[in-house]
Structure 1
Amino acid sequence: MKPTSILLAPLALAATLLTACTPTIIHHTTYYTDTSHTAQYQDTRIRFLVMHYTEIDEKQSLDVLTHEQVSAHYVIPDHPKEKNGEPIIWQLVPESQRAWHAGLSSWQGTTELNAASIGIENVNLGPIDTPQGRTWQPYPPEQVNAMIRLAKDIVTRYNIPPTRIVGHSDIAPQRKIDPGPLFPWKQLYDAGVGAWPDDATIAKELAGRDPHAPTDVRALQQKLARYGYEVATDGVLNDSTRRVFAAFQMHFRPADYSGNPDAQTDAIAQALLDKYTQAAPPEPARPAP
């Protein structure tokens, strides 16, 4: 048996090498594709995760998002049903397809985020105006749990950086306020999803300043532009700039989202830049086409 084994070994090796070098030929309906060569410069279509609220109940949300000219990849009920102890989440659009959830939008230099993101709609009524003033519907714990499970899975599969997990108000601050000041950004961060500033860094950046003291408008505009917001950097505190400041505050300081450029907002912005922009991996270099 030994001579036979010795003869068969090189043949087996040759067969292995031949198989490894054989192109992968895929037959389509009227043509073949050869996938033996892979381009070095490519990346995933999905680079952002965008959170929304529906402003209507679950039944209405499913009807609107499946029949009207708006859609989202996922809808998380306010009280999800469970199967085997795990939440059931509606998926309306395959992740490989573009959903119509972001509209006119911009983040970190990318515009029209529908083409580069996954959108999650959370069933929530949003702002509720009463004679006593505006209130907001909270996000129930079971919905937050489902949100964390889904977001962690998406972020892991597509390697989405923390600063690219945003709200609709972040990417479209001139026209949107969802997912609102009660959205659990800090809970998501504690679970490993999204960005959040460190308290110690905020205190260091404040350096004893009154948190409510006015700060330089242009400097704050520049910091938010570096972080990802589409905002002018002209030092003018107009309504457009105030809406951007308010969107940032609603995300990272929901206790006060008046849009005023104060020292605490400036410190939070700098703390986020210190934590994420310096450590963020650079975009891969792409040669000119």
Structure 2
Amino acid sequence: MTRPFLSRPLAMLGLAGLLVLQGCAPLAPGGRGLDIDTSISARSQGSRVRFIVLHYTVSESSRALGTLSQGEVSSHYLVTDDEPARIYRLVDENRAAWHAGQSEWGGYTWLNRSSIGIEIVNRGPVGAAADGTPAWQPYRPSQIRAVRALVRDIADRHGVAPENIVGHSDVAPLRKQDPGPLFPWRELAREGVGRWYDESVARALGARFAAQGLPDMASVRQQLMRVGYAVPPADSPEREMQAVLAAFQMHYRPARYDGVLDAETAGVLAALVASSGPAGAGDASAW
């Protein structure tokens, strides 16, 4: 049998071809003309997104869309009040939107770079009720359905913990009230979006506080921090602590949100502490 024969030039050409094939790893353009090999991905990594922050716009859809796309503020998503509600993505999730500002939750501050912001078209307070308290614009059912689906999708993709799905008022209680007391946190939590508490435990604890007296403010401050809120220093003006309590009440006891500690609020707070982990923790395996 005659052996196949390859000339030296042909053999060298074949070897060069193999080397070229081995070098055909995916390349991404880098800065200053660099080519960066992206063929290997590290196992130990996670999303930068730790929080989802919900807002209302205080304006109609067209104005909100202009402000959020052309102004000094922005959000990743805008949910309109159309029927059915329309969802706009205004900022890529890999980039920061300017929606949270000076904010804090679970010990993390300035949340723009670690959160997804969702604006919902809603005017917020629209006058006064008969008892003198603010009257609020209700959310449309189609908006809530859209928000629920959107938040669930974002939370699933980024591993956002239920306790880190919050309102702007939760993370900036001294200056913000959105999404307001009519946002249906309880309804969403029952459908797997966000955090809630054991209501039977809250009622039992509330009854005990009503009979035996309210917890001291130092304990309340510690519990609020445990569930995520930033509380002002103990020597701060009383109105600042009231603002934090009002934000908590808007989220978890919206029937009355005057910022005054009562037995029901104390029971809800204690039940929430008992039923949830510390806010801000997220997926520890990614950090």
Partners of 2:191 and 2:286 lie apart in 1 by: 32
Q: How much does 1:187 deviate?
A: 1.5
Query: Which of 34, 54, 57 lines up with 1:31 in the alignment?
Result: 34
Partners of 1:35 and 1:73 lie apart in 2 by: 27
Q: After superposition, where does 1:136-151 map in structure 2 within 5 Å?
A: 136-151=136-151
2:242 is matched with which residue? 242
2:82 is matched with which residue? 79
User: Residue 219 and residue 282 in structure 1: after superposition, are their counterparts in 2 closer, same or farther (change >3 A)?
Assistant: farther
Per-residue CA distance 1:126-169 (angstroms, 9 max, x = gap): 00124843200001111111111111111111111010000000
User: Residue 207 and residue 107 in structure 1: after superposition, are their counterparts in 2 closer, same or farther (change >3 A)?
Assistant: same
2:108 is matched with which residue? 110
Q: After superposition, where does 1:94-109 map in structure 2 within 5 Å?
A: 94-109=92-107
Q: Are the counterparts in 2 of residues 217 and 235 from structure 1 also a CA contact under 8 Å?
A: no
Q: Are the counterparts in 2 of residues 124 and 137 from structure 1 also a CA contact under 8 Å?
A: yes
Q: Are the counterparts in 2 of residues 45 and 116 from structure 1 also a CA contact under 8 Å?
A: yes
Partners of 1:253 and 1:74 lie apart in 2 by: 27
Which amino acid in 2 is paired with 1:53? Answer: Y
Query: Which of 45, 54, 57 lines up with 1:54 in the alignment?
Result: 57
Which amino acid in 2 is paired with 1:226? Answer: R
2:177 is matched with which residue? 177
2:284 is matched with which residue? 283
1:270 to 2:270 alignment: yes
2:260 is matched with which residue? 260
Q: After superposition, where does 1:99-248 map in structure 2 within 5 Å?
A: 99-130=97-128, 132=130, 133=132, 134-210=134-210, 214-232=214-232, 234=234, 238-248=238-248
Which amino acid in 2 is paired with 1:192? Answer: G
Normalised TM-score (structure 2) = 0.82
Which amino acid in 1 is paired with 2:180? Answer: G
SS at structure 2 position matched to 1:209: helix
Gaps of 5+ in 2: 1-21
Per-residue CA distance 1:207-266 (angstroms, 9 max, x = gap): 533299643111111100111111036387711111001100010000011111222222
User: Residue 263 and residue 129 in structure 1: after superposition, are their counterparts in 2 closer, same or farther (change >3 A)?
Assistant: same
1:92 to 2:128 alignment: no
Q: Are the counterparts in 2 of residues 26 and 33 from structure 1 also a CA contact under 8 Å?
A: yes
Gaps of 5+ in 1: 1-20, 82-86
User: Residue 281 and residue 154 in structure 1: after superposition, are their counterparts in 2 closer, same or farther (change >3 A)?
Assistant: closer
Normalised TM-score (structure 1) = 0.82
Q: Are the counterparts in 1 of residues 161 and 282 from structure 2 also a CA contact under 8 Å?
A: no
Per-residue CA distance 1:74-133 (angstroms, 9 max, x = gap): 11112244xxxxx53111111111111000000011111000001110000100124843
User: Residue 267 and residue 66 in structure 1: after superposition, are their counterparts in 2 closer, same or farther (change >3 A)?
Assistant: same
Q: Are the counterparts in 2 of residues 185 and 194 from structure 1 also a CA contact under 8 Å?
A: yes
Partners of 1:212 and 1:59 lie apart in 2 by: 53
2:5 is matched with which residue? none
Partners of 2:235 and 2:260 lie apart in 1 by: 13
Q: How much does 1:186 deviate?
A: 1.1
Q: Are the counterparts in 2 of residues 212 and 263 from structure 1 also a CA contact under 8 Å?
A: no
If asked which structure has higher relative contact order (CA below 8 Å, sep 6+), I would say 2
Partners of 1:285 and 1:57 lie apart in 2 by: 39
How many residues end up aligned between the 2 structures? 261
Percent identity, aligned pairs only? 41
Which amino acid in 2 is paired with 1:119? Answer: G
SS at structure 1 position matched to 2:139: coil
Which amino acid in 2 is paired with 1:77? Answer: T
Please tell me whether Structure 1 or Structure 2 has the larger radius of gyration of its CA atoms. 2
Considering only aligned residues, what root-mean-square deviation do their CA atoms show, in Å? 2.6
